[in-house]
Structure 1
């Protein structure tokens, strides 16, 4: 199936093509036609499954540009996710003339958001608290809303936004379409669905093998005294370019960041006690590749959506299975492969066993690699990249140079070994 099979406008089709998407993900394949038919949906899918496009396409198909009042509202748990979702919707609507999309969230001057709202906005993407603020100030009238989306609903409820969500839903027209997306479906989600949706169609993608992110999951039993050293061995072995390290507490975040800096790693951290401005600054450094490692607590990393994270490391075992799912879902985005490592100290074993019982895919138990094993792992990664290069790169000029400088097969082998050693040491 491809996007041409959907009953969508040429403007949206062109934008999808420019965004680099050719065929829909499983959640898009099922959700888009149903949402275009006006049905309410509950979509259970992991972060990174393509759900933003799944609700953005139906939203934009219904927008009537001459009406400058809000026609769709998307609620997200964090400002980071708000910005990402608004950006995605704007890209999707880039061919629709005069379309206005606005993200509203705390930590940004409310006056600027108010001025844009007064001029007219078609789609509002916001955190529940800031949306309520605009409603109470008379800046945001939801009377013309046709579509409400609750994105990452389980995270919003976990962060205590239930009352705000219900207040917002109560301020929208009864005949609206309500689309709810969540990685997990706890009882609170079911309560909201029963109360605010009309015979919703339930779509579950998490068990669909085609959509399971390509995350290889490893666990490492370790002594609490050597956990940090063991983690650096993993960072070294797997030549990590972009890593997200999760800790359970601010104290643990500060410890890991401080000691990684001492080891000359390119690292920074975010946690709940930081100002929003400071968190944004760190996030931008991580997104732009100016740092290669981000250490974070669960709350600080809510809604984090970065495509190129190679590995997620659970420095502390998560408190529950849902937190584990949210954490490891930050890698293997957009069809890429990813790694997830969990370091398990003695006092974390029972908590980790609970996670393993609830985990749908296998977590492979391994030993922390020795120096010899690290050499082997790194070598295999370099050789794997080289084999990919053979298939896709133009190598004739390089082959000629090696052919001219080497004679026998043994010399070729010596050259390959010397090049591998040089790469490993740099």
Structure 2
């Protein structure tokens, strides 16, 4: 079965808006199977692992079926642990962003008085551990007479932890006319006994877990701050000299923003997402296949049908929302017997999503240290040497040999000629290597900054604000992070933060300022 698009489901405008804000376009397999049945009011048994999108599979219908004018408890979600109860509550709060809903997680270890106070004010959705929910029923602080939906999340875990009697106690207190949903990774005889006793002709839905993998794909991840992802991406593209790469983002907005940043930095990049017409998508794909686009940035839905054998690397700019997406994404590289690479950028709490991916795909994704600029240059130099050897071994170089012989007649040695050609080819890169990181000499800038000479000035109608704008576009730096700017008749000076001065200067060379090609060099200290 093909996964459903949220836009095609009969959901409220508010719900669709919240789902879009969370970055989801396409339902996961368990959501695609379960949502239509649950939205129709049927009882459901869903067999699916953690990390497959179960929370939204029951959370969306719970919110859609809620009577927001009624302040009574209308839905109860039972979870095995406090951690899961909190996680489910957070997800439901995100889904209810555009509707007035009161959600309360209740669990042991938190003062019960605080929960009682919240229940008295009026709560519509309770998410809790069986023991604490039972405790509130005993205290009569939780009334169940208005409940129309009950959900058992990770039922096998709850039963393994000895909650069977507590669960049955709660189920007995709920009105007969209600909808019951049960989700579990396994289906034991005990669980099936519960469903026969408490569910009404349930739909049995099962998601078979997709196995990885493609062994020819080298998989690594980097822990990186969100604001540094762009720098890491461009660094890796340059380092591996990639000619065809796929970059995945979780939302359409992220795709557009990243494409804009990459184009600003001089890369041949374009995007694919659900808001584009079929004609636009076809045009972008045709360019990608022909190699006119080096970097294709896409959402998971838009990437359907991408079948290009020469994709050298896949980047998970955002960690995918579930492990099936991870499998689909990285399977775009390493095709036709070639070796592929998959790089995943992990920021903050995304590390937990990555652990789920590793656990269920049974693959160890190796952590790598973010490469320094010096390491990037070393790798690029090695790649260049390999290309040079290949050229010498496979190409007809008679014309070039003739030119070299003419130069040798003028008393230049073959070694000098080769060195000069290398310098011409690698020129600015070698200069960059010499000044990388802390190797900047004293340029007369304030501490922590590097002063650069730029070969344009007032005669080319350049103003300080043009330099600031160009720096902001290639790096995202605010004007307060840029040091002193002096614009003279034929040239200018600007101070850049030392930690990323090299990257910014190289990016400015590629992009230019106000449409003009520019050259930047570390300035000499004023005498």
TM-score when scaled to structure 1?
Answer: 0.54
Aligned in 2, Cα 1:18/1:407: closer, same or farther, shift over 3 Å? Answer: same
2:120 paired residue number: 118
Q: Secondary structure at the residue paired with 1:339?
A: helix
Of 159, 178, 183, which residue of structure 2 is paired with 1:176?
Answer: 178
Residue correspondence of structure 1 range 1-400 to structure 2 within 5 A: 1-97=4-100, 99-207=101-209, 209=210, 241=223, 338-340=357-359
| Distance of 2:45 and 2:156 partners within structure 1 | 12
CA contact (8 A) 2:180 2:199 kept: yes
CA contact (8 A) 1:48 1:333 kept: no
Could you tell me how far 1:206 is from its partner in structure 2?
2.6
Question: After superposition, what is the alpha-carbon deviation per residue over 1:1-46, rounded to whole angstroms, capped at 9, x for unaligned?
Answer: 3111111111111111111111111111111110011111111111
| Distance of 1:202 and 1:378 partners within structure 2 | 42
Could you tell me how far 1:413 is from its partner in structure 2?
9.6
Question: After superposition, what is the alpha-carbon deviation per residue over 1:276-309, rounded to whole angstroms, capped at 9, x for unaligned?
Answer: xxxxxxxxxxxxxxxxxxxxxxxxxxxxxx9999
Aligned in 2, Cα 1:44/1:335: closer, same or farther, shift over 3 Å? Answer: farther
CA contact (8 A) 2:322 2:353 kept: no
Q: Secondary structure at the residue paired with 1:39?
A: coil
Could you tell me how far 1:407 is from its partner in structure 2?
3.5
Could you tell me how far 1:205 is from its partner in structure 2?
0.7
Q: Secondary structure at the residue paired with 2:358?
A: strand
Could you tell me how far 1:339 is from its partner in structure 2?
3.5
Misfit runs of 4+, over 2 Å: 214-217, 237-242, 306-310, 330-340, 361-364, 377-383, 405-416
Could you tell me how far 1:410 is from its partner in structure 2?
11
Structure 2: which 5+ runs fail to align?
A: 225-318, 324-348, 381-421, 440-527
Question: After superposition, what is the alpha-carbon deviation per residue over 1:75-100, rounded to whole angstroms, capped at 9, x for unaligned?
Answer: 00111111110111111112112x11
| Distance of 1:87 and 1:14 partners within structure 2 | 17
1:272 paired residue number: none
Could you tell me how far 1:50 is from its partner in structure 2?
0.5
Higher relative contact order (CA 8 A, sep 6+): 1
1:326 paired residue number: none
CA contact (8 A) 1:331 1:339 kept: no
Larger Rg: 2
Structure 1: which 5+ runs fail to align?
A: 218-236, 243-305, 311-329, 341-358, 365-373, 391-404
CA contact (8 A) 2:38 2:61 kept: yes
CA contact (8 A) 1:216 1:338 kept: no
Aligned in 2, Cα 1:172/1:19: closer, same or farther, shift over 3 Å? Answer: same
Could you tell me how far 1:154 is from its partner in structure 2?
0.8
Could you tell me how far 1:184 is from its partner in structure 2?
1.3
Could you tell me how far 1:181 is from its partner in structure 2?
0.7
| Distance of 1:184 and 1:382 partners within structure 2 | 46
| Distance of 1:334 and 1:215 partners within structure 2 | 18
1:247 paired residue number: none
2:296 paired residue number: none
| Distance of 1:216 and 1:106 partners within structure 2 | 44
| Distance of 1:362 and 1:339 partners within structure 2 | 6
TM-score when scaled to structure 2?
Answer: 0.44
CA contact (8 A) 1:307 1:332 kept: no
| Distance of 1:413 and 1:44 partners within structure 2 | 58
- Count of aligned residue pairs for this structure pair: 267
Could you tell me how far 1:408 is from its partner in structure 2?
3.9
Q: Secondary structure at the residue paired with 1:35?
A: helix
1:297 paired residue number: none
Aligned in 2, Cα 1:380/1:14: closer, same or farther, shift over 3 Å? Answer: closer
